[in-house]
Chain A
Amino acid sequence: MDHASPLERILRGVALTVVVVFFMFPLVWILLMSFQTNETILRSPPSLVFQPTLDNYRALLGGRLVGAGSTLQVSYVQNLMNSVILSVSSVSLALLLGVPAAYAFARFRFRGSEDIAFTLLSFRFAPPLLVLLPLALYFQQIGLANTYIGLIWVYQLIVLPLILWIVRGYFEDISPDVEYAYRLAGHSWFAAFRKIALPLAGPGIAAAGLLAFIFAWNNFVFALVLASADKQPVTVGALAFITASGIQFGQIAAAIVLSNAPTLLLALYAQRHLVEGLSLGAVKG
């Protein structure tokens, strides 16, 4: 395609421009909106010329939203903290549980291994509300409703299968002979796992962890059903904003930007591993 006709090159250029504009515009526009006051946002026609302000972020992080004539107390910082707590803990727990299991599934063909692995995978594809709604009633009864522990447990449904299947693939890529060689040198099974398998699968495990973090952070429905305001992550919190009256539009935009920034930055950081992760190891990037 080096010798494409000029017309073709122009068409290609136009097509790529349309693609970039369509997918980037919303992110850019909301980012711009977050630096504007209500006055500039409400201008018609919309304009790119405005005096940028950090007021929206200041108000959001300060927890006091001064709207049209009223002051509203919001706990956006609390939402942000909840997101961090829920995502970090559930991914840590999933790594702790999932990495040894992934190793077992990669290395041993034991009775029932495939069945167990697929059962765990099937959680990824089952409708979440199917279990969430009865769980909401149970959580009320056993006191797990609106607790971090209950939420972190439920988050395992999405992060654990992800980690299990991706990390399993990375373990399978390590030749078993390398581990055998270490054991034949006189080291125990556990030493071989710790000194050979873990370091060699390390980058893959890290990538799986990052991707799981992104999915946990972006999750909405679990906390919507199981958490009240003080335990809600940013996804649920941000939705509450837009329906609340008296909030300035720039502040909503700022909330979206702040909620979205961590996952986008992590995605850029881990982008080389994302393809493999998104397809649960079926496609190599």
Chain B
Amino acid sequence: MAVIADTPPRPRRFRVGARALPYLLSLPALLVCIGILIPFGTAIWYSLQRYRLSQPWARRMNWGQNYVDFLSDPAFWNTLQVSMVYAATAVVVQLVLGLSIALLLQRRTRLNNVISIMLLLPLMTAPVLASLMWTLMTNANFGVLSWAAGQIGFEDMRWASSPRTALFTVLLVDIWVYTPFMVILLLAGLRSLPSQPFEAAALDGAPRLFVFWRITLPMLTPYILTASLFRLLDAIQQFDIIYGMTQGGPGNTLMVFQVEAYLNFFQQTNVGRSAALMMILWAITYALSAVFIKQWLRLRERARGEV
């Protein structure tokens, strides 16, 4: 700056810090999180190695070999498929259920408010505890659900212990825990929609289905997208419920990414393969979260603008 202030020097209390202030404020938070970047880098490093804890002498770089091996590894393809099926089914079912329930609860009556508060409870239950609750309820000896299934003709329903019903059972728990998330977000979305289009449609005597498909659904789309992407990001990484109920079994029916990586690491002590698996999951979630964050930001901007 060319101009020199023609004033006596004043105590430069905050002036020096003024520009640095925002950095100073956010630095501690950043420093605490930066430590996380180190293990992240390490994970990349490990994924390029032949590294088994049980054979430390054989540890060496094998570059992309872990990834190349995946191509011919049926276990990997199984993991990918199970993760995708699990996440997609969970999100679709939860979306349909969530939207239906939100529509049921749309009017602000006392009963509806009480029900929507009740719906918070499954969502706030730790997923691993939820899996324990359902394990107790589906116990072959005394589980109330096993008994109920027997009453309606499924005498030998073995729930999570049978390869045929394990996915269904675990999804049931996922749906129980996370459908309320959809309900709550979509309900907030529904209640924030402007009322004029609906009033105009009512005046025109438009049929309900028409109103739903042509007015409600298009206006609700940003909320639906945000909520679904949010859920998809979580569901593809599901660990707690599956690990809590079946540890990926029976057999490998529920070997989703994180469970597979966890078992690879702690049971087979195959660090290299485990890290490579996580890198692939990370790539998937990264791509998803890029789409999600854009969508989420748009919605957030709108919510803040309406204050």
Contact = CB atoms under 8 A, between A and B. Distances in A.
A and B touch in the complex (CB under 8 A): yes
Nearest to B260: A129
5 contacts: A22-B176, A29-B137, A97-B29, A164-B29, A218-B125
Classify chain B's interface size.
35 or more
A28 B193 CA distance: 35
The 4 closest A-B pairs by CB, nearest first: A218-B126, A104-B25, A267-B124, A134-B42
B265 interface: yes
Main secondary structure of the interface of A (DSSP, over half): helix
B68 interface: no
Given A30-B133, A130-B278, A282 B289 contact: no
A267 B121 contact: yes
A230 interface: no
B168 interface: no
Given A137-B271, A156-B32, 19 more contacts: A42-B142, A97-B28, A103-B25, A118-B293, A123-B36, A129-B258, A133-B39, A133-B271, A153-B35, A217-B126, A221-B243, A238-B129, A249-B136, A253-B136, A275-B188, A280-B300, A281-B300, A281-B304, A283-B226
B239 interface: yes
B154 interface: no
Interface string B268-307: 0001001100110110011011001100100110011011
Contact of A221 (B30, B46, B233, B239): B239
Contacts of A260: 125-126, 129
B36 A131 contact: yes
B8 to A, nearest CB: 20
Interface of B: 13-14, 19, 21-23, 25-26, 28-30, 32-33, 35-36, 38-40, 42-43, 46, 100-101, 104, 107, 111, 115, 117-130, 132-137, 139, 141-142, 144, 147, 176, 179-181, 184-185, 188-189, 192, 223, 226-227, 230, 233, 237, 239-240, 243-244, 257-258, 261-262, 265, 271, 274-275, 278-279, 281-282, 285-286, 288-289, 292-293, 296, 299-300, 303-304, 306-307
Contact of B223 (A217, A235, A283): A283
A122 interface: yes
Contact of B29 (A24, A98, A280): A98
Contact of A110 (B22, B118, B137, B289): B22
Which of A29, A133, A218: most chain B CB closer than 10 A?
A133
Contacts of A42: 141-142
A116 B36 contact: no
Contacts of A284: 188, 192, 303, 306-307
A189 B16 CA distance: 13
- B118, B128, B141, B271 — most chain A CB neighbours (10 Å): B128
Contacts of B257: 127
A1 interface: yes
Contacts of A239: 128, 132, 244
B141 A100 contact: no
B22 A282 contact: no
B23 A133 contact: no
B121 A27 contact: yes
Contacts of A218: 124-129
A236 B126 CA distance: 11
A172 interface: yes
A277 to B, nearest CB: 11
A189 B124 contact: no
B137 A26 contact: yes
A244 interface: no
A89 to B, nearest CB: 13
Contacts of A44: 142, 147
Contacts of A280: 296, 300
A145 B159 CA distance: 37
B111 to A, nearest CB: 8
